[in-house]
A and B are shown apart, each in its own frame.
Chain A
């Protein structure tokens, strides 16, 4: 089984990525990067990352979240985070990235925030 599985769904013009697994150096980080670059190539610039089933992330994975955020912003898009586990929330607090990302516990609220 892949280290990170990413399932994609659409809610209007917003793409939701349901991520399941680990976002760590190597395969997991590359899978996220590849998916984000492809979406941007397809003109999909409103992206919601559902991290509810991501049980583990390392500094490389955190870096990949940041790279994804800046890549989407560069295309005048928006990338937001949904359903952070406590561990990921703690890591974003330690790295002071909670001040950078828009973070939501409710998918409905997250989707509304894009418009």
Chain B
């Protein structure tokens, strides 16, 4: 396999999360990332796809989750698009604030930012969110 890019189109179901993680870690492994980096990719991809399935597409199976895996000179890139209402990342409460510590949700973005080197959010012109993450080599 010498592909530089792979595209996935997965239904908005919880089992798509594991599928995306397997595809992403296999791709990253193939392009030379080590085991500890694969764990980081696993954690971040799990969170970004879970957010797209649950919060973006609200598990509506008619709405896909589009994922692009890319090997670039900078590193391993993952782009995930959902077809939900979108959100402003700056409006998401900091889960490490003492007042939020005992909340059950809201740690996914923290995990993405912790395990990847860059995470960016965009609103797609035709609706939905795009999350772009980079793991540098």
Interface residues of A in 44-60 (CB under 8 A from B): 58-60
Report A79-105 CB contacts with B as 1/0, cut-off 8 Å: 000000001000100111101100000
Chain A interface secondary structure, helix, strand, loop or mixed? helix
Is B102 an interface position by the 8 A CB rule? yes
Is B72 an interface position by the 8 A CB rule? no
CA distance A97 to B39 in the complex (A): 21
Is B9 an interface position by the 8 A CB rule? no
Chain B interface secondary structure, helix, strand, loop or mixed? helix
Q: Is the CB of B50 within 8 A of A96?
A: no
Question: Separation in Å of the B37 CB from the closest CB of chain A?
Answer: 14
Tell me the count of chain B residues lying within 8 A, CB to CB, of chain A: 20
Q: Is the CB of B96 within 8 A of A66?
A: no
Interface residues of B in 41-99 (CB under 8 A from A): 43, 46-47, 50, 54, 95-96
**Contacts A25-B14, A59-B111; is A66 near B103 (CB within 8 Å)?**
yes
**Number of A-B residue pairs with CB-CB distance less than 8 Å in the complex they form:** 51
**B102: contacting residue among A26, A70, A94, CB under 8 A:** A70
Is B104 an interface position by the 8 A CB rule? yes
Q: Is the CB of A95 within 8 A of B104?
A: no
Is A20 an interface position by the 8 A CB rule? no
**A90 and chain B: residue at smallest CB distance:** B114
Is A23 an interface position by the 8 A CB rule? no
Q: B-side interface residues toward A, CB under 8 Å?
A: 14, 17, 39, 43, 46-47, 50, 54, 95-96, 101-105, 107-108, 110-111, 114
Knowing that A59-B108, A67-B104 touch, tell me 13 more A-B residue pairs with CB under 8 angstroms: A24-B17, A24-B46, A25-B46, A25-B50, A26-B17, A58-B50, A58-B111, A62-B107, A63-B103, A64-B104, A66-B103, A94-B110, A96-B101
